[in-house]
Amino acid sequence: MRSTAASFDHLSQYVEGLPLIDCHEHMTGRERMGDVLQFLCSGYYSHDLASAAGDRTAERILDPSRALAERCDEFLDAWRATRFTGYGIAVRYAMRKLFGIDEPTRETLEDAQKRLPDYAEPDAFESILEEAGIVARITDCWPPPAEILDGSWKPLPRQQLALSLPFLHAIRTRDDLSRLESACGATVTSLEDWLDLCGRYIRAGRDLGAVCLKDQSAYNRSIAYRMPPRAEAEAVFNRILADPRYHAEYDPDGNPLSDFLMHHLMRVAREVDLPVQLHTGHMAGVRNDVAKANAAGLRSLVEVHREVRFDLFHANWPYSGDALFLAKNYPNVTIDFCWTHIVDPVYARAMLVQAVSAVPYTKIHGFGSDVGGGLPHIAWAHAALAREVIACALSDLVEMSHLALREAEEIARAWCFDNPNRFFGLGLTGPAA
Ligand SMILES: [Zn+2]
């Protein structure tokens, strides 16, 4: 992406040189992907394939037991429809960088199949992140709770841990308690016991160096958490305890137990002074309901927990105005553009422009790759696209005389590095001003 603004080339070069903090990723380990179509298309891009050509076609394209030539033809058909989306652009950037492919053909893909990098190799894996200029990455990689509690979990280089919350409050059956019970070597006999274990887990994570808490319950329930009386939550919890066969009803609006526990977890977040990252807006995959994920639903949670710092993910796509309102209106809310540049780069650019004119620029986190282990090349591509989007947005603002060039540089540096470095307490040394 480019801007026609006169300052674009200068700002693009400036942003290119900035260290980048990846505010959100999912790398559980280093993996080798042995199939070129899985290497290029798995992860988010496959959801656009499904959207364009249907889920069955997307599955067939990614099925390595089928002949590559046959799958290439199906891929190339779907590629035509998907190559202009943010996910498509990320795949295009990765193809160009690694294989010199501008437009894929069956022949160039068969050739790429013979030249796949091996990202199980630490050097190959780390060097592409190095080339992306990613200096730290906040990871939601779900370590076993036992490894958090005994302090044995080890991050990959550059990783900083986000402690995952959903399994602590999405309790529907007795079995949902067992992961944390066995990690703690404890048996839960009351709601009070469970609250204690949740606190133990989060404090252990903090002691291990976790930099935030993270929740993505928006995939399964409305994020408009209510404030039920404790007795209502306790009645559900006690029934779950008393009958291991009981299954608390699934309600897309949430349930009193999950709502009550979420508020409890926010009090623990305040106690340990860790910010809370929340999924808002668009969800990975197809056929979900985005209305329940709109950040507007969080209004009472962020209102009640004024001493908890909330980092709202994915720029709340497609509800930019609601996220801008929350960040402008609540001192304890920031907006995180993780994933956003590849979900919809044009949206990201427009919203960043609007954010400068509506929200203090210290409350924007500019980048998060949101990718998993076998796809560091997509993290690289996403970082490249994010730098372009940021340079476009800021040069647009210079063009309209809203910012001077030096001010645009100040904001770029804050979005890419200074803001998340401060917000998550990473303590990294930035480039000289
Ligand atoms: Zn994610």
Residues 395, 370: Cα–Cα separation, whole Å: 26
* φ, ψ for residue 336, nearest 5 deg: -115, 125
How much is the average pLDDT of 314-318?
98
Residues 301, 279: Cα–Cα separation, whole Å: 14
- Angstrom CA distances, 342 to 279, 338, 386, stand at 16, 9, 8
Residues 312, 302: Cα–Cα separation, whole Å: 11
| Alpha carbon of 313 to ligand 1 centroid (Å) | 9
User: Which residue's structure tokens are 């907006």?
Assistant: 335
| Alpha carbon of 405 to ligand 1 centroid (Å) | 33
| Alpha carbon of 312 to ligand 1 centroid (Å) | 12
Element (H, E) at 91: helix 86-99
| Alpha carbon of 277 to ligand 1 centroid (Å) | 10
Token digits of residue 385: 């696209």
> How much is the mean pLDDT over the chain?
97
Instruction: For residue 201, count other CB atoms closer than 10 A to its CB.
Output: 22
Residues 34, 379: Cα–Cα separation, whole Å: 18
| Alpha carbon of 374 to ligand 1 centroid (Å) | 15
pLDDT for residue 152 is more than 80: yes
| Alpha carbon of 117 to ligand 1 centroid (Å) | 24
Token digits of residue 371: 């990718």
Closest CA to 37 of 107, 109, 111, 117: 109
| Alpha carbon of 285 to ligand 1 centroid (Å) | 12
- For residue 251, the model assigns a pLDDT of 77
- Which residues sit with Cβ closer than 5 angstroms to ligand 1, an ion? 370
| Spatial CB neighbours of 73, under 8 Å, sequence gap ≥ 6 | 106
DSSP 3-state assignment of 334? strand
Share of residues in the chain with pLDDT > 70 (%): 100
Whether 283 and 308 have beta carbons less than 8 Å apart is answered as: no
| Alpha carbon of 91 to ligand 1 centroid (Å) | 18
Question: Can you list the positions of beta strands (E) in 96-216?
Answer: 134-139, 159-164, 212-215
- For residue 254, the model assigns a pLDDT of 76
- For residue 172, the model assigns a pLDDT of 95
Residues 21, 18: Cα–Cα separation, whole Å: 10
Closest CA to 253 of 206, 217, 280: 217
- For residue 255, the model assigns a pLDDT of 87
Instruction: For residue 305, count other CB atoms closer than 10 A to its CB.
Output: 19
Amino acid identity of 350?
A
- For residue 67, the model assigns a pLDDT of 96
Res. 432 pLDDT band, cuts 50 70 90? confident
| Alpha carbon of 26 to ligand 1 centroid (Å) | 6
* φ, ψ for residue 356, nearest 5 deg: -60, -40
- For residue 373, the model assigns a pLDDT of 77
Residues 180, 198: Cα–Cα separation, whole Å: 8
| Alpha carbon of 245 to ligand 1 centroid (Å) | 32
| Alpha carbon of 215 to ligand 1 centroid (Å) | 10
| Alpha carbon of 24 to ligand 1 centroid (Å) | 6
Element (H, E) at 225: none
Token digits of residue 236: 């559900």
Range in 97-106, 198-207, 249-258 with the lowest mean pLDDT: 249-258
How much is the average pLDDT of 31-38?
96
- For residue 84, the model assigns a pLDDT of 98
Closest CA to 209 of 161, 168, 177: 161
- Angstrom CA distances, 2 to 5, 377, 409, 430, stand at 9, 21, 17, 26
Q: Model confidence over 218-259: pLDDT tens digits? A: 999 999 999 999 999 999 999 999 999 999 987 777 789 999
| Alpha carbon of 310 to ligand 1 centroid (Å) | 16
| Alpha carbon of 246 to ligand 1 centroid (Å) | 31
Instruction: For residue 292, count other CB atoms closer than 10 A to its CB.
Output: 19
pLDDT for residue 167 is more than 80: yes
Whether 108 and 101 have beta carbons less than 8 Å apart is answered as: yes
Res. 433 pLDDT band, cuts 50 70 90? confident
Whether 142 and 205 have beta carbons less than 8 Å apart is answered as: no
| Alpha carbon of 54 to ligand 1 centroid (Å) | 23
| Alpha carbon of 282 to ligand 1 centroid (Å) | 11
Res. 322 pLDDT band, cuts 50 70 90? very high
| Spatial CB neighbours of 72, under 8 Å, sequence gap ≥ 6 | 37, 106, 109, 110
Instruction: For residue 324, count other CB atoms closer than 10 A to its CB.
Output: 20
- For residue 250, the model assigns a pLDDT of 74
| Alpha carbon of 234 to ligand 1 centroid (Å) | 31
How much is the average pLDDT of 381-398?
98
Give the pTM. 0.97
| Alpha carbon of 365 to ligand 1 centroid (Å) | 15
Q: What is the DSSP string of 329-343?
A: H-TTEEEE-TTHHHH
